[in-house]
Amino acid sequence: MAASGEHDSLPEEPQPTVEEETKTFKDLGVTDVLCEACDQLGWTKPTKIQIEAIPMALQGRDIIGLAETGSGKTGAFALPILNALLDTPQRLFALVLTPTRELAFQISEQFEALGSSIGVQCAVIVGGIDSMSQSLALAKKPHVVIATPGRLIDHLENTKGFNLRALKYLVMDEADRILNMDFETEVDKILKVIPRDRKTFLFSATMTKKVQKLQRAALKNPVKCAVSSKYQTVEKLQQYYLFIPSKFKSKRLGSLNKFKAKARSILLATDVASRGLDIPHVDVVVNFDIPTHSKDYIHRVGRTARAGRSGKAITFVTQYDVELFQRIEHLIGKKLPVFPTQDDEVMMLTERVTEAQRFARMELREHGEKKKRSREDAGDNDDMEGAIGVRNKVAGGKMKKRKGR
C-alpha cells in the first residue's frame, strides 16, 4: 500500500502500517452525522482505499485512486463530497461520471443512503431512460448528478437552463473503462464547460496511458492513493478451478435486478457485470467461460469477497483453456487449487436432472393435449345458456346484475 502525489512526491509524513490502521471514519475526519450513516449501512470500519483517500480529500487535494475491485471506492469519494456539501450547501454541487447505467444507479443509491439524514438529492442521467423525465429532474437542481458521458452531453447541449458552471466536485469512476469505451470526446467537452476551480477525484482499476493523459488534463497536483502494487485478488477470496469436458457445461438463466432483490439466487451474466457492480450478498462467482484477457478475471471474481467479506470463485477449465488458465495464475501470482468434488454425487445429480427434464417434457406435452381437447369440446358445445351460467358463476353474478340494469 502506498500514497503518493504526482511525480510520486508526497508530504513527508510517516505512513501507518496496516496493523496500525484500526481506524474509524471519525478518525479520518468524517463528520458525526455521516459517521452515523456509515454505521446504519453496516460500514463498521473504513477500507484501505478510504483510509488513504478520505483524509487527503478532506484537505482539499485532488485524488487519483488506484484500488483493487471491491475495495470501497464509492465511499472514498462520496463521504468527502457529502462532508463538503454540509459545510457549503449548494445545488449541482458534484458530478460523477461512470461508464455504465448500472454503475450510475448503484452510486446514486450509495449517495442517497449516506446522505438520507441530510436530505441529499441525486439525479441519474443515463441512456435508455426517457430524456424528458431526466430534464425535469435536472430542473430541480439536485445536489449530485451521476451520469454517463454521452447522455450528460446531450442534456448540456439541449436541456434549457441546465449547466454545471457552479460545480465544485468532479468524480470520474472507472476512468479506464470510460476511456476504453471511447468516451474521450465527451469527457473533453465536459471538462471545457465545468469550472477549472474545482476538486477532481479520478478512480481507476488500472493506470493506462489514456488515464495518465486524462490525469494531466483534469487534475491539479493530485495525491495518488494506491492500495495494491500489482494485479491481485483480495485475501479472503477462495479461488478454485474445475476441469470439465466442454459438453457438460451448465445452462444459463437470471437477470440482474431479480438477483439484486434476492428473488433469484443465481445470476449468469456476460462481462457487463464484471466491473463496478456491488451486490453484497454474492457468495460465489462461477466463471462459466474462462476470460480471454487475464485482467478480466480480476474484475469478475471481484464481484464477491467485497469490502472485507469472504467469498469463493470457481473457474470452469476445459481441455481447451489450459493456456489461458495458466496466464491467470501467472498474473495473480498464485497456483489455484482444484475445487473438491465427489464424482459419484455429480453423476447422480446429472442423472436426476436428466430424469427431471424428461418428466417436465412429458407433463408439458400432456398439458398441451388437455388444453387442445378442452378447446375442441368448447367449440362443439351448442348449449350457450349453460356456458353463460358458468361465466356468471365465475364472475360472481356480475353479468346478471348488468343485465338487470
| Last residue in a domain, options 289, 320, 341 | 341
Is 74 domain-assigned? Answer: yes
Q: In angstroms, rounded to a whole number, what is the distance separating the alpha carbons of residues 279 and 326?
A: 29
CA dist 170 and 144 (Å) reads 10
Q: For 30, phi and psi rounded to 5 degrees?
A: -75, 135
Q: pLDDT tens-digit profile of 189-205?
A: 999 999 999 999 999 88
On whether both 157 and 82 belong to a single domain, the answer is: yes
The residue among 167, 200, 226 that closes a domain is: 226
Compute the CA torsion angle 16, 18, 21, 25 (nearest 10 deg): 110
Q: Are residues 261 and 158 in the same domain?
A: no
* Cα dihedral 61/308/68/170 (nearest 10): -30
| Average of per-residue pLDDT across 52-71 | 88
Cell of residue 234, nine digits: 483480495
Point out the least confidently predicted range of 4-18, 209-223, 249-263: 4-18
| 311 lies in some domain | yes
Secondary-structure percent of the chain, ordered helix, strand, coil, rounded to 5: 45, 15, 40
Q: Does 62 fall in a domain?
A: yes
**Domain identity same for 105 and 177:** yes
pLDDT of 307 reads 66
Spatial distance between the Cα atoms of 359 and 364, rounded to a whole number of angstroms: 9
Q: What is the DSSP string of 307-325?
A: TT--EEEEEEE-TT-HHHH
Q: CATH number of the domain that 222 lies in? A: 3.40.50.300
Residue 231 domain flag: no
Does 291 reside within a domain? Answer: yes
- Position 302, amino acid: G
Is 232 a member of any domain? no
203 CB-near residues (< 8 Å, 6+ apart): 63, 64, 65, 66, 67, 73, 76, 77, 171, 172, 173, 174, 175
Q: Are residues 331 and 213 in the same domain?
A: no
Do 333 and 185 have their domain in common? no
Distance CA 109, CA 78 (A): 11
- Are 244 and 381 contained in the same domain? no
> 147 with 111: CB under 8 angstroms?
no
269 with 304, same domain: the answer is yes
Among 271, 106, 127, which residue's Cα sits nearest to residue 186? 127
What gap in Å lies between CA 176 and CA 253, rounded to an integer? 30
Number of domains in the chain: 3
- Give the C-alpha separation, 24 to 259, whole Å: 32
Report pLDDT for 130: 87
- Under DSSP, is residue 82 helix (H, G, I), strand (E, B) or coil? helix
Report the alpha-carbon distance of residue 128 to residue 154 in Å, rounded: 13
State yes or no: pLDDT of 384 exceeds 70. Answer: no
Query: pLDDT per residue over 347-375, tens digit each?
Result: 888 888 888 888 888 888 888 887 777 77
| Between 368 and 16, residue with greater pLDDT | 368
Q: Is 65 helix (H, G, I), strand (E, B) or coil?
A: strand
pLDDT at residue 334, as a whole number: 87
DSSP 338: B
The phi, psi pair for 288, rounded to 5°, reads: -65, -50
* Least confident range of 186-190, 208-212, 229-233: 229-233
Distance CA 144, CA 114 (A): 13
Confidence tier at 395 by pLDDT (50, 70, 90)? very low
The answer to whether residue 41 is domain-embedded is yes
Residue 403 is predicted with a pLDDT of 45
Average pLDDT over residues 3-14: 39
- Non-local (6+) Cβ contacts of 370 within 8 A are none
Report the pLDDT value the prediction gives residue 277, as an integer from 0 to 100: 64
Q: For residue 285, what are the β-bridge partners? A: 313
Same domain, 130 and 201: yes
pLDDT of 4 strictly over 70: no
Q: Same structural domain for residues 188 and 266?
A: no
268 and 372 share a domain?
no
Tell me the average pLDDT across 326-341.
86
Same structural domain, 115 and 51: yes
The model's pLDDT over 68-121, given as tens digits with 9 standing for 90+, comes to 666 789 999 999 999 999 999 999 999 999 988 888 998 999 999 999 989 999
Burial 350-387 (b: 16+ CB within 10 A, else e): eeeeeeeeeeeeeeeeeeeeeeeeeeeeeeeeeeeeee
pLDDT at 327 over 50: yes
- What pLDDT, on a 0 to 100 scale, did the predictor assign at position 88? 93
The stretches of 88-183 forming alpha helices (DSSP H) are: 101-114, 131-139, 149-158, 175-180
CA atoms within 13 A on the CB side of 388: 8
Domain check: are 259 and 355 in the same one?
no
Angle formed at CA 117 by CA 111 and CA 121, multiple of 5 degrees: 45
End residue of a domain, out of 181, 201, 226: 226
Q: Is residue 308 part of a domain?
A: yes
Give the domain extent around 289.
Answer: 237-341
